[in-house]
Structure 1
Amino acid sequence: MAKTTRIAVTPGDGIGPEVVAEAVRCLETLRARHSLDMEWARFPWPSHAWHEEHGESMPQDALDQLQKYDAILLGALGDPGPVDDPDRYLLSDSVSLAPLLDMRKGFDQWVCERPARLLPGARQYLADERAKDIDMLVIRENSEGEYVSQGGRLRKGTPDEVATQIEVFTRKATDRIIRYGFEQARNRATNRVNEGRTRTFKTLDGRTCESQVCLVTKRNALRYWGDMYTEAFEAISKEYPDVATHHELVDAACMKFVQSPWAFDVVVASNLQGDILTDLAAVLSGGMGVAPSCNLNPTNPDMPSMFEPTHGSAPDIAGQGLADPTAMLFTTARMLEWLGRKDPKIAAAGKELFDAVAADLAENAGTRRGTHEIGAAIRKRLSE
């Protein structure tokens, strides 16, 4: 008997509950339409409201509870509080981000995938016509690097205060994220061929390939981990002679993301540098309002992966029905495609949701609509 696919729904803060509500309604439509063996449960944490009531963003056994599920669908985290309360305002970012990091580390979600493809109807920020061909996948190492929270503050609050923030990189994590990047490059090339699209990239020796991996570091200034990433990249690339390779320093990569983003295919970067690059890539592909994000554990089926839109909690418009759920719905589609590795019906439902959201985006470019109106239009497409 097939195992029921279980999803933990965590709406979070700000506009999170509003956009997640539309995602759940779409899941209900798809479940009924395709008789999917899928269920979900809603959790009131992690959230600012839970923190206000309990003094913590989520309960002590939160990870144990979430591990019983196959995936986590997260709305948004973050509530800065009133700006006239500086202590609360300044601490809010670190408090709200903590559960996100706890889940990523606790479930070893070592891959953060953020696709950046300029779809019809999405806002094109670059005037160059070639920007219509933006189609990259930024893969961020998600388990270590700059976000390991090693360090501290000595003599806090005094003129002699010292703050240390230690970066930690291992060869194991380096090898697996780089190899994952090459595998995704191959997969993307195959998918493009199946869709009737082609792209070509030049290798250093002048050959033409249908895919490319660009490694991003800051090895000229951050020498030790930069050298290790570069050496691992060179070694692993030999296993993938059909994939072109490229290396950029992170500052140059930011510049070239704007100058010629159509020249990138798969980009692999460290935790912090990937975090910065993915926000830039999201804007180039239409903005935060259309950008999905996936935190994946591809190696341990007993650990849930987590899916969240790239945008934040937007507390300034929360509760007003103004939030665009497009990014949340694209994220939900990516979650279904991921879960569909074990159930082709769920994978098909994910593609159906993606296509419906993309069609809605193309048809309503520039139209101002409310949260529920957009969700209802997409559900109508799913029902037809």
Structure 2
Amino acid sequence: MADTIRIAVTPGDGIGPEVVGEAVKCLEALRAKHGLALEWTRFPWPSHAWHEDHGESWPEDALEQLQKFDAILLGALGDPGPVDDPERYLLPDSISLSPLLDMRKGFDQWVCERPARLLPGARQYLADDRARDIDMLVIRENSEGEYVSQGGRLRKGTPDEVATQMEVFTRKATDRIIRYGFEQARARAADRIKESRTRSFRTIDGRTCESQVCLVTKRNALRHWGDMYTEAFEEISREYPDVAIHHELVDAACMKFVQSPWAFDVVVASNLQGDILTDLAAVLSGGMGVAPSCNLNPTDPDMPSMFEPTHGSAPDIAGQGLADPTAMLFTTARMLEWLGRKDPNLAAAGKALFQAVAADLAENSTRQRGTQEIGAAICARLA
């Protein structure tokens, strides 16, 4: 019998508790139907409310508590508080979102993985019919780069103020994120072949492959890390002759994401550039309301990975039952598939949840429904 898999549920701010509530209902339905060895614990932090009561976003031993779990399911962070009343408790983004960076760095979640596939029923923002074939995986280096928070401000608040922000890139992190991209390209090609969804990419020497990895840098201006990424990419690509390769500068990549997103398969980028590209890819594949996100540590089984939808806390509609839980449910499905590394039954449950959410999206895309109505419809499919 498989060991019990433990999930830390952190609903967070704004609409987070509402969409997480529907995710938990789906987990309950899956556990009952499939007999899953699965349990979860809810935490009231990190959140704006916890900070208002305790003067901090979460307890000092939060990471220590979370490390005991196999995965973290996060609803949303970033609620600043009642912005229409300056006398009430407000939080800047640098504080309300800081637990995200703490978890990513504390648990070495060095992969941020965001699939962008335009599913039936999702909003198609591009008029070109070929946009229906958008199916890419954007992989963002999540542990270093532009978000290492090294730097400072000198003579703050004076006309002579100086702000420094340092970027840090290591060859170890560069190699592992690029190699991960190639491994995912191979895996995606294998899955597409099973599903008879073949694609074709041309290699530099004219051969045709089922998969492709596109590296994104700004090496013409940020040459030091850009050159290191490019050299590592070229070296590692020789280990994967069955995968086509491509390189784009980040500004050109943004343009081509809009012009021809169907031409991309797996995209690998740095922390900041990947952050921008993943949001753009999410919109191209239907919007933030349907986009999942994963923060993964593929190398250390003792470190939990963290799963969150790409949307924010949306405080303007919080508590009104209007939030669409679709992105949260797709994220939960990705979490279960990831946990399938420890228990194959969870991978099957994740696929079942994905199929149920996708079917609901396809059948009800033109209807305006509330949070609980959508969740109930998907639970009914699961049952």
Q: TM (normalized to structure 1)? A: 0.98
Contact conserved, 2:215 with 2:246, CA < 8 A, in 1?
Answer: yes
Stretches of structure 2 that go unaligned for 5 or more consecutive residues are none
Alignment of 1:5-20 (within 5 A): 5-20=5-20
Q: Measure, in 2, the Cα distance between the counterparts of 1:304 and 1:381.
A: 29
Q: Secondary structure at the match of 1:215?
A: strand
Rounded to whole Å, the distance in 2 between the matches of 1:232 and 1:145 is 15
**In the alignment, which residue of structure 2 is the partner of 1:102?**
102
Q: Distance in 2 between matches of 1:218 and 1:66?
A: 36
Equivalent residue letter for 1:362: A
What is the distance in 2 between the residues matched to 1:84 and 1:49?
17
Q: CA deviation at 1:344?
A: 1.3
1:80 aligned partner: 80
Alignment partners' CA distance in 2, 1:142 and 1:95:
19
* C-alpha contact (below 8 Å) 1:216/1:247 kept by paired residues: yes
Q: Are residues 94 and 88 of structure 1, via their aligned partners in 2, closer, same or farther at CA, if it must alter by over 3 Å?
A: farther
2:116 counterpart residue number = 116
Pairwise CA distance, 1:343: 1.0
Q: Which amino acid aligns with 1:339?
A: L
Corresponding residue for residue 4 of structure 1:
4
Quick one: which amino acid aligns to residue 358 of structure 1?
A
Q: Which amino acid aligns with 1:295?
A: N
Q: For 1:178-222, what per-residue CA distance to the aligned partner results, in whole angstroms no more than 9, with x for missing partners?
A: 000000000000000001110000111111000000000000010
- Residue 318 (structure 2) pairs with residue 310 (structure 1): no
Q: How much does 1:82 deviate?
A: 3.5
Local SS of the residue matching 1:373? helix
Match of 2:367 in 1: 367
| Aligned partner letter, 1:69 | F
| 5+ residue gaps, structure 1 | none
Identify the residue that residue 278 of structure 2 maps to in structure 1: 278
Aligned to 1:174: 174
C-alpha distance in structure 2 between counterparts of 1:262 and 1:89, whole Å: 45
Q: Which amino acid aligns with 1:104?
A: R
- Determine the structure 2 residue equivalent to 1:186: 186
Q: Which runs of 4+ in 1 moved over 6 A?
A: 85-90
Aligned-residue RMSD, C-alpha? 1.3
Shift of 1:89: 9.2
- Tell me how far apart the structure 2 counterparts of residues 2 and 282 of structure 1 sit (CA, whole Å): 35
The Cα of 1:287 is off from its aligned counterpart by: 0.3
Q: Once the two structures are superposed, what CA deviation does each residue of 1:96-150 show, in whole Å capped at 9, x if it has no partner?
A: 1110000000000000000000000000000000000000000000000000000
* Matched position secondary structure for 2:319: coil
Counterpart in 2 of 1:25? 25
Q: Residues 70 and 304 of structure 1 are in contact (CA less than 8 Å); yes or no, is this contact kept in structure 2?
A: yes
1:24-173 to 2 correspondences below 5 Å: 24-83=24-83, 92-173=92-173
Report the counterpart of residue 219 of structure 1 in structure 2.
219
Alignment of 1:246-257 (within 5 A): 246-257=246-257
SS in 2 for 1:25: helix
8 Å Cα contact 2:81/2:91 also seen in 1: no
8 Å CA contact retained: 2:7, 2:39: yes
1:287-302 paired onto structure 2 within 5 Å? 287-302=287-302
Contact 1:81/1:92 (8 A) holds in 2 = no
> How far did residue 155 of structure 1 move?
0.7
Rounded to whole Å, the distance in 1 between the matches of 2:91 and 2:246 is 39
Residue type of the alignment partner of 1:59: P
- Once the two structures are overlaid, the 10-residue window that deviates more, 130-139 or 93-102, is 93-102
Letter in 2 for 1:184: Q
Q: Does 1:199 align with 2:199?
A: yes
What is the aligned partner in structure 1 of residue 337 from structure 2? 337
| Aligned residue type for 2:71 | A
Cα distance in 1 for partners of 2:121, 2:158 equals 53
The residue type paired with residue 214 of structure 1 is C
**Is residue 121–residue 364 contact of structure 1 (8 Å, CA) maintained in 2?**
yes
Residue identity in the other structure for 2:172: K
Q: Secondary structure at the match of 1:114?
A: strand
How far apart in 1 are the matches of 2:19 and 2:168?
35
Q: Distance in 2 between matches of 1:91 and 1:328?
A: 24
Give the letter for the 1:287 counterpart. G
- Measured in 2, the distance between the counterparts of 1:251 and 1:83 equals 34
Other structure's SS at 2:97 match: helix
Alpha-carbon distance in 2 for matches of 1:298, 1:54: 34
Partners of 1:20 and 1:168 in 2: CA distance: 35
1: CA distance, partners of 2:285 / 2:193: 21
Is the 8 Å Cα contact of residues 80 and 88 (structure 1) preserved in structure 2? Answer: no
Q: Secondary structure at the match of 1:372?
A: helix
> Which one-letter code corresponds to 2:188 in the other structure?
R
Letter in 2 for 1:110: W
| CA deviation vs aligned residue, 1:205-247 (integer Å, no higher than 9, x gap) | 1110000000000000101000000000000000000000000
Letter in 1 for 2:293: S
AA aligned to 2:352 is E
The CA deviation at 1:370 is: 0.1
What does residue 210 of structure 1 align with?
210
Native 8 Å contact 1:13 1:78 kept in 2: yes
Overall identity of the aligned pairs, in %: 87
Task: State the Cα distance separating 1:2 from its structure 2 match.
Answer: 2.8
